[in-house]
């Protein structure tokens, strides 16, 4: 026993001497003096220590209550890390299930003239706001934060809910030391699932203990104790980085009664998940016929027989009557009847209303459960894996996917947030299946550029563009509430010394038609005059200036979101007194079985030089193992677009 105590004392002394005392308030000078992270010198901040302890206690009034205690110590290296001084805590506020925060305390530590100074979190640094109907945000900001500051805080969230939020152990900055402990009573059985898409996978230990407080039962324990958890950072075209985050999901699967016999079995298969959701009064019951919209619907569909035409007109009716309030959910907030009456609702209110109307007219319409891109991709059967719902219309072998929350969506054009691999189609309480959400048709952007070289070697001309499908939708979504002047500034950005005039956009409000965009331009810095020669790139300001893929290696897929085609046609009038000395060589290259193709053709036709270039991305997902080859391929595209035409005096 004496030897054991000596060993423990030595270990504690060793940790303290190396700045490893993680008790609250025990900040070391070494932590404050550190100017960069030893293993990640580029990070603006680092989590020196994170402890998350989730447990349950028994209340005679409420039964088992969940307690989540968090203690975090963070080092801020530079100004880019200042955001880490603000913490947001999301609290569920459902009927009879309100979460609360307590025992909040925090301090900022700085080294001033060799002395550790600390500033306490004050009441004026604490904030509360409503996030949605059922979620409240409690946030706080630590004071006196500067480069080199160490901040530390701890708080406890008490909840009557027995569902456990995901346990996240990978962030945008590295974690030096991570301790997680999850203690659950044996009456609640959880399926635990690490994110299989994450590169970082911690070791999880399992054990159990018995307690007699307030009665005899077993407590199941999961623990994670890790050091040097790497940062998870955004990469160019990485899609939703959360899909690759190291985290642990705890899905409640079985509830036992006091005799330890199953009293309730929750969703364990996708079919059971689908049935549970469909049977909810805030889901399946909302698909019935409602008299409140009967007259409006009959007027909108008078004389229309085709199901797809009905779908288009009903979607238009819903958009005109009900506006999306910005809230996500698979269950209605207000219900179809109230949402129609009040003219506002969440995505479920709106899209279940759309389905209800279509079904009342004999159209084969069904809801499709979706996990938005920000919510990630569910990897095992779970109700929490879905947070959004859209509409499917089936006519024979043809399918339409619709979403009436956005003004400029249309047939099979969904908001970007819904383009997340696959959704679960619920035809009834007993019938469900997977449907592909990824766009199948290639969206196009076609640019036609006319160029005149003036006597002062400035360039003038006009541009005509046509945008289809998703490219048109993204344009409408971005510029629908923007003035013409702001659009011009956006188009001019990054294009050199250019002035754009006479911008005209056709079909800006008609989502069923391609966008047609025209403008005049003057460009002053595209031509280099060296002696009696002129040098310029024929793609001018349409060229891609640099390769966005700069990393040597990549951990996550490249996600272009949609299949698309960029097409360029440039017509250059040769100036008087000059002839062509050289033009870029035509080339056609492709990547990975023609999943991505690039063609480039320049030729002279009398007094004109004509360029045709095209980039086709057929498969918008490039896997990490193909990254190096794709980076090289894309570099060739950038290099080809930068190649120059040389004109010389006749």
Q: How sure is the predictor about 270, in pLDDT bands with cuts at 50, 70 and 90?
A: very high
Q: In what order do the strands lie in the sheet with 175-185?
A: 115-120, 100-112, 150-159, 63-76, 45-59, 175-185, 217-229, 205-211
Total tally of structural domains belonging to the chain: 3
- Which residue(s) pair with 617 in the sheet? 564, 596
Last residue of a domain, one of 201, 231, 262: 262
- Does residue 179 sit in the same domain as residue 66? yes
Evaluate if residue 222 carries a pLDDT over 60.
yes
385: how many CB neighbours lie within 10 A of its CB? 22
Cis status, amide bond into 369, omega within 30 of 0: no
Predicted local distance difference test score (pLDDT) of residue 87: 98
Q: Which residue has the tokens 């979706």?
A: 370
Please report how the helices 347-360 and 307-321 are oriented relative to each other, as an axis angle in degrees rounded to 10: 140
Predicted local distance difference test score (pLDDT) of residue 213: 86
Predicted local distance difference test score (pLDDT) of residue 9: 42
pTM of this prediction?
0.86
Q: DSSP readout, 400-444?
A: EEE-TTSTT-BTTB--GGG-SSEEEEESSSS-EEEEE-S--SPEE
- Does residue 109 sit in the same domain as residue 165? yes
More reliable by pLDDT, 179 or 3: 179
Percent of the chain with pLDDT over 70: 97
- Does residue 511 sit in the same domain as residue 380? no
Task: Tell me if 633 sits within 8 A of 591, measured CB to CB.
Answer: yes
Evaluate if residue 2 carries a pLDDT over 80.
no
The values of phi and psi at residue 161, to 5°, are -80, 145
Q: How sure is the predictor about 20, in pLDDT bands with cuts at 50, 70 and 90?
A: confident
Is residue 20 in a domain? Answer: no
- Does residue 457 sit in the same domain as residue 418? no
Evaluate if residue 3 carries a pLDDT over 50.
no
Predicted local distance difference test score (pLDDT) of residue 1: 42
Mean pLDDT of 305-318: 98
Last residue of a domain, one of 241, 262, 283: 262
| Whole-number Å distance between alpha carbons of 218 and 285 | 40
Q: Which residue range is the domain that position 594 belongs to?
A: 443-649
Percent of the chain with pLDDT over 90: 84
- Does residue 289 sit in the same domain as residue 234? no
**Residue 493 belongs to domain with CATH number:** 2.60.120.1130
Mean pLDDT of the chain: 93
Predicted local distance difference test score (pLDDT) of residue 12: 44
Q: Which two tokens stand for residue 246?
A: 């190291």
Is residue 12 in a domain? Answer: no
262 Cβ neighbours under 8 A, 6+ residues apart: 254, 255, 256
Q: How sure is the predictor about 134, in pLDDT bands with cuts at 50, 70 and 90?
A: confident
- Does residue 251 sit in the same domain as residue 386? no
Sign, CA torsion 552/558/563/569: negative
Mean pLDDT of 594-623: 96
Q: Which two tokens stand for residue 142?
A: 């630590």
Evaluate if residue 10 carries a pLDDT over 50.
no
Evaluate if residue 310 carries a pLDDT over 80.
yes
| Whole-number Å distance between alpha carbons of 643 and 529 | 16
CA 47, 48, 50 angle in degrees (round to 5)? 70
| Whole-number Å distance between alpha carbons of 100 and 114 | 39
**Residue 83 belongs to domain with CATH number:** 2.60.40.3140
Mean pLDDT of 280-298: 96
Mean pLDDT of 34-55: 97
More reliable by pLDDT, 224 or 133: 224
HEC string of 143-194? CCCCCCCEEEEEEEEEECCCCEEEEECCCCCCEEEEEEEEEEECCEEEEEEE
- Does residue 208 sit in the same domain as residue 91? yes
HEC string of 489-535? HHHHCCCCCEEEEEEEEECCCCCCCCEEEEEEEEECCCCEEECCEEE
Is residue 11 in a domain? Answer: no
Q: How sure is the predictor about 7, in pLDDT bands with cuts at 50, 70 and 90?
A: very low
Sign, CA torsion 325/328/330/331: negative
Is residue 14 in a domain? Answer: no
The string over 32-56, giving b where at least 16 C-beta atoms fall within 10 Å of a residue's C-beta and e elsewhere, is bebeebeeeeebbbbbbbbbbebbb
Instruction: Give the number of C-alpha atoms closer than 13 A to the C-alpha of residue 364, restricted to the C-beta side.
Output: 10
DSSP single-letter state for residue 472? H
- Does residue 186 sit in the same domain as residue 310? no
Evaluate if residue 15 carries a pLDDT over 80.
no
Q: DSSP readout, 364-413?
A: -EEEEEE--TTT----SS-GGG--EEEEEEEETTEEEEE-TTSTT-BTTB
What is the per-residue pLDDT across 236-264, written as a single tens digit (0 to 9) for each? 898 888 889 999 999 898 999 988 899 98
- Does residue 233 sit in the same domain as residue 300? no
12-16, 294-298, 453-457: which has the minimum mean pLDDT? 12-16
Evaluate if residue 5 carries a pLDDT over 80.
no
What is the per-residue pLDDT across 514-569, written as a single tens digit (0 to 9) for each? 999 999 999 999 999 999 999 999 999 999 999 999 999 998 899 999 999 999 99
Evaluate if residue 650 carries a pLDDT over 80.
yes
Q: Which residue has the tokens 């003239």?
A: 113
Evaluate if residue 610 carries a pLDDT over 60.
yes
Predicted local distance difference test score (pLDDT) of residue 155: 98
Q: How sure is the predictor about 11, in pLDDT bands with cuts at 50, 70 and 90?
A: very low
14-28, 114-128, 152-166, 470-484: which has the minimum mean pLDDT? 14-28
Predicted local distance difference test score (pLDDT) of residue 267: 65
Is residue 15 in a domain? Answer: no
- Does residue 256 sit in the same domain as residue 276? no
Task: Tell me if 370 sits within 8 A of 389, measured CB to CB.
Answer: yes
Last residue of a domain, one of 232, 262, 292: 262
Predicted local distance difference test score (pLDDT) of residue 539: 95
């Amino acid at each position: 026993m004496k030897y054991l105590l000596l060993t423990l004392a030595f270990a504690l002394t060793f940790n303290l001497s190396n700045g490893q005392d993680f008790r609250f308030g025990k900040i070391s000078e070494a932590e404050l003096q550190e100017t960069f992270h030893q293993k990640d010198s580029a990070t603006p901040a680092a989590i020196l220590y994170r402890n998350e302890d989730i447990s349950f206690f028994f209340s005679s009034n409420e039964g088992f209550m969940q307690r989540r205690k968090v203690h975090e110590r963070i080092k801020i290296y530079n100004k880019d890390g200042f955001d880490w001084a603000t913490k947001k805590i999301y609290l569920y506020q459902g009927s009879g299930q309100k979460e609360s925060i307590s025992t909040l305390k925090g301090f900022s530590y700085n080294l001033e003239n060799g002395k550790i100074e600390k500033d306490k979190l004050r009441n004026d640094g604490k904030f509360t706001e409503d996030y949605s109907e059922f979620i409240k945000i409690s946030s706080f900001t630590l004071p006196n934060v500067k480069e080199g500051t160490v901040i530390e805080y701890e708080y406890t969230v008490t909840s009557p809910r027995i569902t456990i939020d995901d346990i996240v152990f990978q962030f945008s900055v590295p974690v030096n030391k991570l301790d997680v402990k999850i203690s659950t009573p044996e009456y609640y059985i959880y399926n635990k699932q690490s994110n299989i898409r994450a590169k970082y996978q911690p070791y999880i230990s399992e054990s159990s203990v018995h307690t007699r407080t307030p009665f005899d039962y077993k407590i199941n324990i999961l623990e994670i104790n890790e050091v040097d958890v790497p940062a998870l950072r955004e990469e160019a075209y990485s899609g939703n980085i959360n899909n690759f985050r190291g985290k642990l999901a705890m899905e409640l699967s079985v509830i036992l009664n006091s005799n330890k016999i199953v009293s309730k079995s929750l969703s364990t298969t996708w079919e059971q998940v689908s049935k549970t959701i469909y049977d909810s009064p805030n889901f399946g019951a909302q698909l019935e016929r409602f008299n409140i919209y009967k007259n409006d619907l009959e007027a909108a569909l008078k004389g229309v027989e085709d199901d797809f035409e009905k779908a288009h007109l009903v979607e238009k009716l819903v958009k005109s009557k009900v506006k999306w309030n910005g809230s996500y959910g698979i269950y209605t907030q207000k219900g179809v009847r109230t949402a129609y009456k009040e003219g506002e609702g969440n995505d479920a209110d709106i899209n279940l209303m759309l389905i209800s109307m279509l079904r009342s007219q004999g159209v084969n319409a069904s809801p499709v459960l979706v996990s938005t891109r920000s919510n990630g991709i569910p990897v095992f059967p779970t109700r929490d894996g879905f947070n959004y719902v859209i509409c499917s219309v089936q006519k024979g072998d043809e399918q339409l996917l619709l979403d009436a929350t956005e003004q400029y969506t249309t047939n099979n054009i969904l908001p970007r947030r819904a383009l997340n691999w696959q959704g679960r189609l619920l035809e009834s309480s007993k019938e469900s299946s997977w449907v592909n959400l990824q766009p199948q048709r290639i969206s196009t952007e076609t640019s036609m550029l006319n160029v005149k070289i003036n006597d002062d070697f400035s360039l003038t001309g006009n541009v005509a563009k046509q945008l289809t499908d998703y490219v048109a939708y993204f344009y409408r979504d971005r510029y629908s509430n923007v003035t013409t002047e702001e659009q011009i500034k956006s188009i001019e950005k990054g294009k050199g010394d250019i002035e754009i005039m006479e911008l005209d956009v056709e079909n800006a409000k008609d989502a069923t038609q391609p966008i047609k965009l025209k403008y005049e331009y003057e460009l002053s810095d595209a031509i280099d005059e060296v002696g009696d020669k002129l040098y310029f790139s024929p793609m001018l300001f349409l060229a891609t200036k640099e390769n966005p893929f700069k990393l040597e290696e990549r951990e996550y897929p490249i996600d272009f979101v949609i299949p698309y085609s960029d097409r360029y046609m440039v017509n250059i009038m040769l100036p008087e007194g000059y002839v062509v000395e050289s033009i870029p060589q035509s080339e056609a290259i492709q990547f990975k079985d023609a999943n991505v193709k690039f063609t480039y053709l320049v030729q002279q036709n009398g007094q004109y030089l004509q360029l045709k270039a095209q980039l086709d991305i057929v498969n918008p997902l490039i896997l990490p193992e193909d990254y190096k080859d794709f980076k090289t391929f894309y570099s060739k595209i950038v290099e080809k677009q930068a190649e120059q035409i040389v004109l010389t005096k006749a």
